[in-house]
Amino acid sequence: MPDVRETPLLVIGGGPGGYPAALHAADHGLKVTLVDEGAKLGGVCLNRGCIPSKALLHTAKIIREAHEMANYGVSFSDPQIDLAKLRAFVQEKVVSKLTSGIGQLTKGRGVDVVKGRAVFTSPNTVEVTGEQPQTIRFQNCIIATGSLPVVPKPWQIGDERVMDSTAALLLPDIPKKLLVIGGGYIGLELGSVYAALGSKVTVVEALERILFMADKDLVDPLEKRLRTEFEAIYTSTKVMGLEATAEGIAVKLEGKDVPASLTFDRVLVSVGRRPNSAGIGLDKAGVNANEKGYIPIDKQRRTNVPHIYAIGDVGEEPALAHKATAEARVAVEVILGEPAEWNPRAIPAVIFTDPEIAWAGITQQEADKQNIPYEALTFPWAASGRAVSIARTEGRTKMLVDPESKRVLGVGIVGAGAGEMIAEGVLAIEMGAIARDVLESIHPHPTLSETVMESAELAYGAATHMAKPRKR
Ligand code: FAD
């Protein structure tokens, strides 16, 4: 091994920002070195985020659906849960399969993968410690070091019954009573998993409502369902302290109509994530980070040091895997000398609860806040043949259009499979489609996707399958 490895492009971090950047650059003939300190490539998303959580949510969905079929004449006995086997499915059949796939992709593209932690020692060098220690000198660098879960200091009581999302995904056991602190998407997704496995789940959210970033009318059907599946959802409620006792974790609460104290077998803290930018020697490279730890970047994803780029969770919000991957393409194309820039009209967001919530483009609450004129066209799934046939009529599809031009500004969906459906909304917004473009694109019948077409139809007076309001 040379004392100093020279590389035209160094990528730090092998998550959904870093590894696609390395692959894309290699595909275009750049010699790339990818450094990651994790045991396996794939970052948070593949190892302890998107992928394991979705494998567990799939399991939870099947448990719930099997149970619900009793209402329609087919009864199954209660599920027998073999936790060791379920864990093995998630970790070996899903996570390991995908992470080793990334290993093969990087190998196939000739990317040099270095295992270890990279810390900048100058604007053109990093020192790698760990499994493969070395010095790397680079011409360009992409920082894709991601983010870490936040567990506020007072809740760090040194008891393994207080978990972050990483620990919860490892399914240590099925607690009888689980408290989820934080009514964001990670807390609700994992809460749904544990509820389906048999835990009595309580959610505490400091804000007035769960999932504050999503439109309320989209959250309502989910909240209604979660209130039947969870023990309790306390909003406008603060956790004032955690204490480890022999009986469990005693939790002090403060809020209206909330017990002052409750005890749980486990507590999941899911109150947010912070950019992983501390301790990587940014000062030695001359790269700025703001007070929250995010690395400010321009439209080319450049930091203040022109040959150093930042993408993914460490750069700017939203912290989503597909946003990191899309930024990777921009940064690499800029490095290749192409006139690329980050300018998406729609970054989709999906909450993989049941029902799912998904949106793209502007939300109604954002449009209100920014005084953007819009027409909101909502198609209730009770009028969808497909939704009726799968007994999922609680959903709704909402399209926001410009009142004059009818250009699609945003799409929001709540309902079974909303996450798969939102891609049509993204395409419509990116292509600058008007509602008629969506309406005149023939959608297959009977599918839930027809609800997107019918919401577009509302821009021109009425939707075929929706009762027209009676004229007085
Ligand atoms: P990361 O995935 O965080 O990867 C960073 C990598 O950098 C890591 O592998 C780390 O080991 C490495 N690293 C860090 N510092 C160094 C260093 N100094 N040297 C070497 N290596 C280093 N997003 C979605 O879009 N959809 C979802 O459904 C979804 N579900 C989620 C569920 C959970 C429970 C969690 C926690 C997150 C979820 N996310 C989801 C968010 C998603 O995981 C992140 O947005 C995404 O992983 C960010 O990618 P990234 O490349 O920026 O960083």
Q: What is the pLDDT of residues 111-137, one digit of tens each?
A: 999 999 999 999 999 999 999 999 999
User: Within this chain, do residues 436 and 382 fall inside the same structural domain, yes or no?
Assistant: yes
Say whether pLDDT at 16 is over 60: yes
Q: Is the CB of 146 under 6 A from ligand 1?
A: yes
Q: Is residue 344 part of a domain?
A: no
Q: Which residue has a Cα nearest atom 37 of ligand 1? A: 49
User: Within this chain, do residues 125 and 23 fall inside the same structural domain, yes or no?
Assistant: yes
Residue 12 CA to ligand 1 centre (angstroms)? 12
Q: Is residue 15 part of a domain?
A: yes
Say whether pLDDT at 202 is over 90: yes
What mean pLDDT do residues 420-441 have? 98
Q: Is the CB of 276 under 6 A from ligand 1?
A: yes
Question: Contact 276/309 with Cβ under 8 angstroms?
Answer: no
User: Within this chain, do residues 331 and 354 fall inside the same structural domain, yes or no?
Assistant: no
Question: Contact 297/213 with Cβ under 8 angstroms?
Answer: no
User: Within this chain, do residues 135 and 92 fall inside the same structural domain, yes or no?
Assistant: yes
Q: Could you tell me which of 340, 332, 338 has the C-alpha nearest to residue 109?
A: 332
User: Within this chain, do residues 164 and 264 fall inside the same structural domain, yes or no?
Assistant: yes
pLDDT band at residue 468 using 50, 70 and 90 as cut-offs: confident
Q: Which amino acid is at 6?
A: E
- Minimum-distance ligand 1 atom for the alpha carbon of 315: 52
Q: Is residue 342 part of a domain?
A: no
Distance from C-alpha of 64 to C-alpha of 58, rounded to nearest angstrom: 10
- Give this prediction's pTM: 0.96
What mean pLDDT do residues 203-222 have? 98
User: Within this chain, do residues 13 and 134 fall inside the same structural domain, yes or no?
Assistant: yes
What mean pLDDT do residues 173-188 have? 98
What pLDDT sits at residue 467?
84
Say whether pLDDT at 222 is over 80: yes
Q: Is the CB of 187 under 6 A from ligand 1?
A: no
Given 24, 67, 445, 465, the catalytic residue? 445
Q: Is the CB of 419 under 6 A from ligand 1?
A: no
- Structural domain for 173, as ranges: 153-271
Q: Which residue has a Cα nearest atom 7 of ligand 1? A: 13
- 271, 287, 305 — which closes off a domain? 271
User: Within this chain, do residues 249 and 282 fall inside the same structural domain, yes or no?
Assistant: no
User: Within this chain, do residues 329 and 456 fall inside the same structural domain, yes or no?
Assistant: no
- Minimum-distance ligand 1 atom for the alpha carbon of 117: 19
Q: Which residue has a Cα nearest atom 43 of ligand 1? A: 45
**Catalytic residue check, 24:** no
Q: Is the CB of 324 under 6 A from ligand 1?
A: yes
Residue 149 CA to ligand 1 centre (angstroms)? 10
Q: Which residue has a Cα nearest atom 40 of ligand 1? A: 50
- 253, 271, 289 — which closes off a domain? 271
Give me the percent of the chain exceeding a pLDDT of 70.
99
Tokens of residue 227, six digits? 């209130």
Q: Is residue 469 part of a domain?
A: no
Q: Is the CB of 147 under 6 A from ligand 1?
A: yes
**Residue 209 belongs to what H/E stretch?**
none
| Average pLDDT value over all residues in the chain | 96
- Minimum-distance ligand 1 atom for the alpha carbon of 149: 36
pLDDT band at residue 307 using 50, 70 and 90 as cut-offs: very high
pLDDT tens column, 136-168: 999 999 999 999 999 999 999 999 999 999 999
Distance from C-alpha of 135 to C-alpha of 188, rounded to nearest angstrom: 43
Q: Is the CB of 16 under 6 A from ligand 1?
A: yes
pLDDT band at residue 2 using 50, 70 and 90 as cut-offs: low
pLDDT tens column, 58-84: 999 999 999 999 999 999 999 999 999
Say whether pLDDT at 469 is over 80: no
Q: Is residue 468 part of a domain?
A: no
- 335, 358, 373 — which closes off a domain? 335
What pLDDT sits at residue 463?
86
Angle at 100 between CA 97 and CA 105, to 5 degrees: 120
pLDDT tens column, 17-32: 999 999 999 999 999 9
**Which of 45, 57, 284 gets mutated to test ligand 1 (max ligand atoms within 8 A of its CB)?**
45
Question: Contact 270/102 with Cβ under 8 angstroms?
Answer: no
What CATH number is associated with residue 13?
3.50.50.60
Q: Is residue 471 part of a domain?
A: no
Q: Is the CB of 35 under 6 A from ligand 1?
A: yes
Tokens of residue 405, six digits? 């031009």
User: Within this chain, do residues 62 and 120 fall inside the same structural domain, yes or no?
Assistant: yes
Integer distance in angstroms from the first to the last C-alpha of the chain? 84
What mean pLDDT do residues 426-451 have? 98
User: Within this chain, do residues 12 and 141 fall inside the same structural domain, yes or no?
Assistant: yes
User: Within this chain, do residues 220 and 254 fall inside the same structural domain, yes or no?
Assistant: yes
User: Within this chain, do residues 194 and 318 fall inside the same structural domain, yes or no?
Assistant: no
pLDDT band at residue 462 using 50, 70 and 90 as cut-offs: confident
What pLDDT sits at residue 472?
57
3-state DSSP assignment of residue 313: helix
Say whether pLDDT at 314 is over 70: yes
Q: Is the CB of 312 under 6 A from ligand 1?
A: yes
What CATH number is associated with residue 384?
3.30.390.30
| Neighbouring residues of 138: CB distance < 8 A, sequence distance ≥ 6 | 6, 7, 8, 9, 10, 33, 124, 125, 126
The total domain count for the chain is 3
Q: Is the CB of 12 under 6 A from ligand 1?
A: yes
Q: Is residue 341 part of a domain?
A: no
Distance from C-alpha of 321 to C-alpha of 314, rounded to nearest angstrom: 12
Say whether pLDDT at 3 is over 80: no
> What is the full DSSP assignment across 104-146?
HHHHHTT-EEEESEEEEEETTEEEEESSS-EEEEEEEEEE---
What mean pLDDT do residues 304-311 have? 98
Q: Which amino acid is at 107?
A: K
Residue 322 CA to ligand 1 centre (angstroms)? 11
> Exposed (0-12), middle (13-18) or buried (19+): which is 224, by Cβ within 10 Å?
exposed
Residue 363 CA to ligand 1 centre (angstroms)? 25
Distance from C-alpha of 252 to C-alpha of 402, rounded to nearest angstrom: 47
pLDDT tens column, 236-291: 999 999 999 999 999 999 999 999 999 999 999 999 999 999 999 999 999 999 99
Q: Is residue 174 part of a domain?
A: yes
Residue 102 CA to ligand 1 centre (angstroms)? 14
What pLDDT sits at residue 1?
53
Residue 147 CA to ligand 1 centre (angstroms)? 6
pLDDT tens column, 363-396: 999 999 999 999 999 999 999 999 999 999 999 9
